[in-house]
Chains A and B, each alone.
Chain A
Amino acid sequence: MFASFTQIKNSITHLRIGDWLVIAISSVLVVYLFQHLWSHEHAAKVQIRVGDKVHATYDLNLARHVQVTGALGEAVIHIAHGKARFAKSPCHNQYCVHQGWLNHSGQAAICLPNQISLELIGEKKPYDTLNY
């Protein structure tokens, strides 16, 4: 009863235009579902860490400028409209500042030289820890 692999290949060549249409639409649907249902939850809070300690957790909906002193000096973090970013940092390469605004839960900006990190958390944290 089971068709062999070459027979399956043969039946691929017999696919009709509607079949290709169904395959294409379903593929788009699957990609759409992955994009929308996997970790694109908007964040509710930002957690600021200095070294290995949680410095503070702020609500993202309340606009404020936060000054945090890290290993090198003072960094400024802006929070507004459900987003957060490093606005100023005393670090050399400024990667953290260039990362710009973060707004999805699970996103993080880590300033290694200054030992300050931002992590966005949603209503519930998608994971407990990340190891590199």
Chain B
Amino acid sequence: MQIQTTSDDHRIAKLAAFAIALHMVEALLPSPLPGVKPGIANIVTLYVLLRYNFATAAWVSILRVFASSLLLGQFLSPTFALSLSGAILSLGVLGLAVHLPKRYFGAVSLSILAAFAHIGGQLLVVRLWLIPHASVAYLIPVFALAALVFGLINGLITAQLINKHQRHDQ
């Protein structure tokens, strides 16, 4: 039996593989605080969203979360739950933010909004399930600062990639 695949499937697979590779690289980097990570794999999600469409970006992001957790041996662990809730919430925000007028809002806006949604999703899981008392509140400012800084950097990289690509097309 052979599954018929379309060129869309191939594209999603390729891009997801790339996102997974970035996720793996990041897993090797030491983190100053559990949960504070640059999230460079999100560059791929953003790039795909701006270059293709929301559905492709959602596929790439969710596939990346599942495959990476399998590769790192974290499938269905709290780490996986954090990763998935962050990805789902930031996809939700991206799905809305992509309708913002393109003239005024570029990749950087999307990236920062998605980064904040990401920590929002993670903190929700932490608060509701992992550490159900208020002491998490102390960490929120640190996470928010990380979201701003890394969201900005990832956004700038994505903007650069999109620019480069557009110049290629012309």
**Which residues of A line the B interface, CB within 8 A?**
1-3, 7-8, 10-12, 14-19, 21-23, 26-27, 29-30, 33-34, 37-38
Q: Is the interface of B mostly helix, strand, loop or mixed?
A: helix
Q: How far is the CA of A7 from the CA of B105 in the complex (A)?
A: 19
Cβ-defined contact, A2 with B157, below 8 A: yes
Partner of A3, one of B112, B145, B161: B161
Cβ-defined contact, B163 with A14, below 8 A: yes
- 16 more contacts with CB within 8 A, not counting A11-B156, A18-B109, A19-B106, are A3-B156, A3-B157, A10-B160, A14-B163, A16-B104, A18-B100, A18-B101, A18-B104, A18-B105, A22-B105, A22-B113, A27-B148, A30-B144, A34-B141, A37-B137, A37-B141
Q: Does B108 contact A (CB under 8 A)?
A: yes
Kindly report which residue of chain A lies nearest to residue B101, judged by CB atoms. Answer: A18
Q: Is the interface of A mostly helix, strand, loop or mixed?
A: helix
Q: Does B138 contact A (CB under 8 A)?
A: yes
Cβ-defined contact, A14 with B106, below 8 A: yes
Q: For chain B residues 125-170, which have a beta carbon within 8 Å of chain A?
A: 137-138, 140-141, 144-145, 147-148, 151-153, 155-157, 159-161, 163-164
Given A8-B156, A26-B112, A37-B138: A16 in contact with B144 (beta carbons within 8 A): no
Q: Does B116 contact A (CB under 8 A)?
A: yes
Cβ-defined contact, A11 with B144, below 8 A: no
B157 — which chain A residues lie within 8 A by C-beta? 2-3, 8, 11
Given A8-B156, A33-B140: A16 in contact with B106 (beta carbons within 8 A): yes
A26 — which chain B residues lie within 8 A by C-beta? 112, 116, 144, 147-148, 151
Q: How far is the CA of A2 from the CA of B43 in the complex (A)?
A: 10
Q: Does B103 contact A (CB under 8 A)?
A: yes
Q: How far is the CA of A29 from the CA of B64 in the complex (A)?
A: 30
A19 — which chain B residues lie within 8 A by C-beta? 104-106, 108-109, 155
Q: How far is the CA of A29 from the CA of B147 in the complex (A)?
A: 11
A11 — which chain B residues lie within 8 A by C-beta? 156-157, 159-160, 163
4 closest cross-chain pairs (CB), A and B = A18-B104, A18-B105, A3-B160, A33-B141
The smallest beta-carbon distance between B146 and chain A, in angstroms, is: 10
The smallest beta-carbon distance between A3 and chain B, in angstroms, is: 4
* B103-121 interface bits toward A, Cβ cutoff 8 Å, 1 = contact, 0 = none: 1111011001100100000
